[in-house]
Amino acid sequence: MPQVGLSDPSMWDAISADPSIPLDRALVRKILDDQRRLSRRWLYPVARVLSRVIVALVSIVKRVLPFRWMSLGTMDVLCVWFLRRFVHPDAVELLIRHFVVETNLVNFLIRNTPAAMEPVTLRPVTLAGLGDHAVVEHDVNVYDVFIALDGVPVTRREPLDLQQLDIPSIDPERGRPRLLRLDIQTALCFMNIPFSMALTLEEYRRAIHSIRFDDSLLELLAVVCGDDTFRHWKTGALSLRMDSNVDVPQAVYLHALVCEYAHARLMELA
């Protein structure tokens, strides 16, 4: 019997062709290209462990010395400098884009529920826009909207207010010389270190826990839109469960993808 030859499919081609991914194909390619960088394959495994060890040590020592080891302004300067000099422009663009996407989701809930809260304004389009405590602000915005929804009936909204779901043109400073061109996941590992140093233990814990509201956000979007599609992307990270002992860069990356999926669905409904 002649042997039937097995095909040799590309994992990347299969992911790119996956029809269940609701994202624009150009965005999918950009995300996949970022995951295929040499830094993602060779440096990320080391950076991931190194980051967790250093952050764990910082957390332990901060229980004895519970104060900021650097100002939030210094953290902003360090992170923006790092992104300008060591991170690939496409990865920088994806990072800036996340701030806009999450703001769009938060504002969608504000506009389509009786939440007593004004729409938030955090929509950076440049690296400089990530300064001025933007990282802290974008976590706080999530908490503010959920607190504003306390006791408020959340029901299906018809018609939906779908304004300001656009993604403005983003400038990741492609023309700037860079010493390295790291992928976003490796970059997050390194950036998590000054983040843990600049925040108090409670602030850092709050920032990490904000990611656990993703499932709650998806549930609210499903109710408001009357669309079960949002529920398909839940990860099981319940907001009621407190756990700060997580792989923060990995959790942030998954959080960003969930937000992109939800945003893409809203764009389809628009």
Provide the percentage of residues in the chain whose pLDDT is more than 70: 98
pLDDT number for residue 45: 97
Residue 230's contacts (CB-CB under 8 Å, 6 or more residues apart) are 218, 219, 221, 222, 262, 265
In angstroms, rounded to a whole number, what is the distance separating the alpha carbons of residues 217 and 108? 11
In angstroms, rounded to a whole number, what is the distance separating the alpha carbons of residues 126 and 93? 9
> Residue 192: pLDDT above 70?
yes
pLDDT number for residue 3: 58
> Residue 1: pLDDT above 60?
no
Quick one: pLDDT band at residue 244, thresholds 50, 70, 90? confident
Amino acid at residue number 147: I
Of 244, 189, 236, 246, the C-alpha closest to 216 is: 236
- Using one digit for the tens of pLDDT, what is the confidence trace for 112-150? 999 999 999 999 999 999 988 999 999 999 999 999 999
Quick one: pLDDT band at residue 246, thresholds 50, 70, 90? confident
Average per-residue pLDDT for the chain: 94
Paired tokens of 199: 């925040």
Residue 182 contacts residue 86 (beta carbons within 8 Å): yes
What is the pTM assigned to this prediction? Answer: 0.94
> Residue 5: pLDDT above 90?
no
Paired tokens of 137: 């602000």
pLDDT number for residue 2: 53
pLDDT number for residue 243: 83
Quick one: pLDDT band at residue 162, thresholds 50, 70, 90? very high
Q: Between these two residues, 245 and 86, which has the higher pLDDT value?
A: 86
Average pLDDT over residues 180-207: 95
- Using one digit for the tens of pLDDT, what is the confidence trace for 23-47? 999 999 999 999 999 999 999 999 9
- Using one digit for the tens of pLDDT, what is the confidence trace for 90-102? 999 999 999 999 9
Domain edges within the chain? 24-269
pLDDT number for residue 245: 78
Of 74, 48, 158, the C-alpha closest to 112 is: 158
